[in-house]
Amino acid sequence: MKSQDNIETMGAILKEEALQTVDHNIFQNTLVLESQVPFPGYHGDNMPFDTKPDSIYLVTTKYYHAENIFRISQCMCNNHRLNFDSCPADVFIYNKHFPCIRIRGLGDYSHIAEIQGCFIDQGIAFMKKRKINASGLIRIDKVFSLLCMEDHIFKDLDDEMTFYTEIPYHITWNMFRKVTETVKNNLDNSNFDAALGFVLLKQVIDFVRVYTRNPDLKRLQGIRNRYIEEIRKIQES
């Protein structure tokens, strides 16, 4: 792929974050979760403020097809003048599966109930409220808008702090977590949050999502090379 190519495609992100129940500004007796510390591996500027939610998860009673979620959300953005990003998600806590709609980009918490109401009007049913305060494994299926900076390195066009480094391996979450710990212990600058994912081009492209501020290509290449080296060591052992 050529440098500076723009790409729009489907794919998924797998990450782990601390989640808790949202108690206010929600539709009555529904379960809404939010990330307590978005991008937990990164510490620095440009982090979300308490008054402005980063990622909200509306927990549904069952799986709904991605097309339905995208169409309803598009209608809301066009007709209700609500500006947010939504996509299907799955959260796994306590060995339980919670199908969700991930909402990102809300200006404040006051819009949550309005958004839920619009989904309910279109036949989406939400799980009843329960108290949750735990780490969860999260899979998000989304549309990616990418810029190919050079071979194997991509920039997210919707988020200036998000980058993707292609890896030639498909690995499990447990392996990824182990490798990430080793990688961070062997880099001079380990201030970045990492997640696992893929996008669909002519073939499946696996990648490490890197969230950090203003990394240069040399640093991104170094992170990629370290991941590949550590994965190879495990697979050859």
pLDDT of 175-221, one tens digit each? 999 999 999 999 999 999 999 999 998 899 999 999 999 999 999 99
Q: Is residue 201 part of a domain?
A: yes
Residue 189 dihedral angles phi and psi, to the nearest 5°: -120, 100
Q: Examine the domain organization and report whether 17 and 114 are in the same domain.
A: yes
Exposure on the CB side of residue 72, measured as CA atoms within 13 A = 21
Per-residue pLDDT, 106: 85
Mark whether 150 and 60 lie in a shared domain: no
The parent domain of residue 166 ranges over: 145-236
Domain identity same for 107 and 160: no
- The answer to whether residue 34 sits within a structural domain is yes
Q: Counting Cβ atoms within 10 Å, is residue 105 exposed (0-12), middle (13-18) or buried (19+)?
A: middle
189 lies in some domain: yes
Asked if the structure places residue 49 within a domain, the reply is yes
125 and 175 assigned to the same domain? no
64 and 162: one domain?
Answer: no
Q: What is the pTM assigned to this prediction?
A: 0.92
Please indicate, yes or no, whether residues 70 and 126 belong to a single structural domain of this protein: yes
Residues 6+ positions from 193 with CB-CB distance below 8 Å: 39, 40, 41, 42, 210, 211, 212
Write down the pLDDT at residue 146: 96
Please say whether the beta carbons of 42 and 190 come within 8 A.
no
Please give the Cα distance from 154 to 16 (Å, whole number).
Answer: 22
pLDDT < 70 stretches in the chain: 1-4, 45-52, 80
Q: In the listed set 82, 109, 138, which residue is the last one of a domain according to the structure?
A: 138
108 domain residue, yes or no: yes
Query: What pLDDT score was predicted for residue 51?
Result: 55
Q: Residue 65 domain-assigned?
A: yes
pLDDT at 84: 86
Structural domain total, the chain: 2
Residue 15 has a pLDDT of 97
Residue pair 196/172 in contact by the 8 Å Cβ criterion: no
Contact 211, 193 (CB under 8 A): yes
DSSP code of 167?
A: -
Same domain, 17 and 133: yes
Residues 120 and 201 in one domain: no
- Residue 170: what pLDDT? 96
